[in-house]
Structure 1
Amino acid sequence: MAKQSINVAQQCKELIEEIHKGIFRPVYLLMGEESYYPDLICKEIIDNCIDESNKDFNELICYGSDANAESVISAARQFPMMSDRVLVVLKEAQLMKSLESLSVYCEHPLESTTLVILMHGGGADKRKALYKSVSKNGVVVDSPLVRDYELARWIENYYQSLGLTLEPGGANLLAEYIGCNLGAIAVETDKLLKNIPLGCKEVSIDDIEKNVGVSRQYSIFELTKELCYKRSEKALKIAGYVGSAAKFSMPAAVSVIFNTFLKVLRYEALMLRKGPISPSDKAAALTGVNPYFYKDYDAACRNYPLKKTMSIISLLCEFDYLGKGGDGVETSDGELLVELTAKILS
């Protein structure tokens, strides 16, 4: 999935480069559970396809709740007036009952028209005619959700695409605070960039704390660090604070802690092997971990023997079930997090 997400980012980059060069495809089908890339491409097309002075006669933006296939096809078959092309944008296309009927046009689209079909919350059926005709004669962008465990890496890549580097831990902090909403991450990043010195190429955690409104001192990632070092008092204090936050989600918290201890387990298994551990072996065991944080995993291996780590993995599976309402548990998410933290430390 991570590879697929990165491929969508690359596809989006290439399409935007085309758009800025004045190259437009006859049909775009922009869809997927994650709306960031489809919305971004759609905006770039609207901003660049038709000159402002020619938009009145050559641009139509309609919505699936109000439009039908016949009216969209009719607009797409119009010839441009004092312009190189016609732009027809169908937003919220998933709401149009006759959506599949657009395949009639997409089989033979006009070169002088750009038709954009923008869908949210899913996509066209890949077995049916619309998807197949756009794949053949235009371009399809299918944007999947970025999973929790992929998000920090996505944020790092996004900042790199802006010519910026993040202080280690900064991506995790943003991921925890904002969640898997790529559009919101982009908005918060824009806000942050307006408040750091012009020309600054390195974004620190202090910058994030000051301008995004999140504190690393009380975050789930700071909790995992304290668990690695087995600092009970501070870990329980952070668990109480994090669990009381309005946006706190127990399943999301368990996912972060689980991923940490799963890497600890792999690392411990590696250390049981005879012979020296090479840097590449360590990197493989701690896949996705910035080398800056290797010392935290070294500490966890010292503090949690293999048998204890395995019991923690089992414990996390149990609390994941409870956090999702298993057994009709009435304990709050915050109380569950404190209880889980105490049991890990015991």
Structure 2
Amino acid sequence: MAKGTVNVGSQCREIIAAVKSGQFAPVYLLMGDEPYYTDMVCDAVIENALDEASRDFNETICYGSDVDADTVITAARRFPMMAERQLVVVKDAQAMRDLEKLSVYCEKPLDSTVLVLLMRGASADKRKALYKQASKNGIVVESNALRDYEMPSWIAQYFSGRGLTIDPEGAALLAESAGTNLGRIAVETDKMLKNLPEGTKQITVSDIERNVGISREFSVFELTKELSAKNSPRALKIAARIGESAKFAMPMAVSALYTHFARILKYAALKEKSRFPDKAAVAAALQGVNPYFWKEYDTAVANYPVRKAMEVISLLCEYDYKGKGGDAGEATPGELLVELTSKILSI
């Protein structure tokens, strides 16, 4: 059972492979704030648990807001009609006011019933009986949202799982466009592959720009690069263009810049301790950064040693507050970003 997002992908692939081969657990508790994997498992169970001829009498799909625990337990304790098993699915199970009472059934589930409890944006209390009994007698999948710095490596792994490779810059650009929404990345990838020549295996930055609708030239990813190099004219131009976008949100931009400068601070502190740190130490300081980009951080720490990096982070905290409506005066979000960029460059 996955405890977080690190192994949830491989866990779900194993579950899906099992259900496709006809192996089912009596209970699936699918939970967490990232629905991509839990929806995938739920759909796979629904698709494979019954053949078409058995669905009318042996498939019950309901929503947590419409049922109570007694109704679900009664349905789950029925025996299948002229079939090997029956399927009971409760979507949005977190909406059930007495969800915890389902622990009574999960303690002794029927082998002839497959019960799926799909929670959206919520998780069962691990201290209570439902979670414990589902873990003991069934399968629990907990899919938590990834952090933004984890997205480029997740994208690379996702593409690899589909028999594709993606440039590190392309992965970073796609991550900026989609944020931490795994489902959106899957949708954008499907759309892109339909527009690329059949048999394409290598995805480039240009492919992302043409098919996803984001420009590398004027992206937060490119802004961090120019800030690292202290290229003032280019950084200010990029900041101005980003701020003009109808989709621009100051908190998201500040979050990306904070992640970038937090890495610079960690790397600068490491370089102060050891002029030539080993690769393992660098990887730990630059968590989530593809080695392809490490040289950029060598430039960055030269421009932002520990003291300056700390000043930038303090500035980012100030503009995070302003970007969320605090003491920003009449400045627009775009103007705040240009102002912030100018102040970072002057440190």
TM-score by length of 2: 0.92
Change (3 A) 1:287 1:50: same
- Alignment partner, residue 6 of structure 1: 6
Structure 1: distance between partners of 2:304 and 2:74: 68
Change (3 A) 1:277 1:36: closer
Local SS of the residue matching 1:217:
coil
- Alignment partner, residue 265 of structure 2: 265
Measured against aligned partners, the alpha-carbon deviations of 1:85-110 in whole angstroms (never above 9, x if no partner) come to 10111111112223222222211111
Local SS of the residue matching 2:5:
helix
Change (3 A) 1:244 1:27: same
Local SS of the residue matching 1:115:
strand
Note the C-alpha offset of 1:9. 1.6
Structure 2: distance between partners of 1:124 and 1:329: 43
- Is the 2:42–2:118 contact (alpha carbons within 8 Å) kept by the matching residues of 1? yes
- Alignment partner, residue 74 of structure 2: 74
Q: How does 1:290-305 map to 2 (within 5 A)?
A: 290-305=290-305
Letter in 2 for 1:141: V
Note the C-alpha offset of 1:276. 4.1
Structure 2: distance between partners of 1:143 and 1:274: 38
Note the C-alpha offset of 1:262. 2.5
Local SS of the residue matching 1:28:
strand
Structure 2: distance between partners of 1:193 and 1:110: 43
Superposed CA RMSD in Å reads 2.1
- Alignment partner, residue 189 of structure 2: 189
Measured against aligned partners, the alpha-carbon deviations of 1:148-190 in whole angstroms (never above 9, x if no partner) come to 2222222222112212211111122111111121111111111
Structure 2: distance between partners of 1:63 and 1:261: 44
List runs of 5+ in structure 1 lacking aligned partners.
Answer: none
What is the aligned residue count?
Answer: 345
Structure 2: distance between partners of 1:41 and 1:256: 31
Note the C-alpha offset of 1:329. 4.8
Change (3 A) 1:101 1:233: same
- Alignment partner, residue 231 of structure 2: 231
Q: How does 1:194-273 map to 2 (within 5 A)?
A: 194-273=194-273
Change (3 A) 1:78 1:35: same
- Alignment partner, residue 179 of structure 1: 179
- Is the 2:4–2:142 contact (alpha carbons within 8 Å) kept by the matching residues of 1? no
Letter in 2 for 1:179: G
Which stretch of structure 1 is more off in the superposition, 328-337 or 156-165? 328-337
Note the C-alpha offset of 1:281. 4.2
Structure 1: distance between partners of 2:313 and 2:251: 14
Which stretch of structure 1 is more off in the superposition, 24-33 or 224-233? 224-233
In the alignment, structure 1 residue 102 sits paired with structure 2 residue 78 = no
- Alignment partner, residue 131 of structure 1: 131
Which stretch of structure 1 is more off in the superposition, 18-27 or 303-312? 303-312
Structure 1: distance between partners of 2:209 and 2:4: 31
Which stretch of structure 1 is more off in the superposition, 285-294 or 274-283? 274-283
Local SS of the residue matching 1:218:
coil
Note the C-alpha offset of 1:277. 4.3
Note the C-alpha offset of 1:49. 0.8
Note the C-alpha offset of 1:251. 2.2
Structure 2: distance between partners of 1:235 and 1:10: 40
Local SS of the residue matching 1:209:
helix
- Alignment partner, residue 29 of structure 1: 29
Structure 2: distance between partners of 1:148 and 1:271: 25
TM-score by length of 1: 0.93
Letter in 2 for 1:22: G
Change (3 A) 1:219 1:57: same
Letter in 2 for 1:300: A
- Alignment partner, residue 113 of structure 1: 113
Structure 2: distance between partners of 1:231 and 1:106: 60
List runs of 5+ in structure 2 lacking aligned partners.
Answer: none
- Alignment partner, residue 42 of structure 2: 42
Note the C-alpha offset of 1:218. 1.0
In the alignment, structure 1 residue 153 sits paired with structure 2 residue 153 = yes
Which stretch of structure 1 is more off in the superposition, 221-230 or 264-273? 264-273
Matched-pair identity in %: 59
Which stretch of structure 1 is more off in the superposition, 325-334 or 162-171? 325-334
Change (3 A) 1:115 1:261: same
- Alignment partner, residue 286 of structure 2: 286
Structure 2: distance between partners of 1:228 and 1:252: 19
Change (3 A) 1:333 1:66: same
Change (3 A) 1:40 1:297: same
Structure 2: distance between partners of 1:82 and 1:3: 38
Change (3 A) 1:37 1:276: closer
Structure 2: distance between partners of 1:322 and 1:244: 18
Note the C-alpha offset of 1:265. 2.8
- Is the 2:152–2:168 contact (alpha carbons within 8 Å) kept by the matching residues of 1? no
Letter in 2 for 1:323: G
Runs of 4 or more above 6 Å deviation = none
Note the C-alpha offset of 1:115. 0.5
Structure 1: distance between partners of 2:328 and 2:231: 32
Which stretch of structure 1 is more off in the superposition, 39-48 or 237-246? 237-246
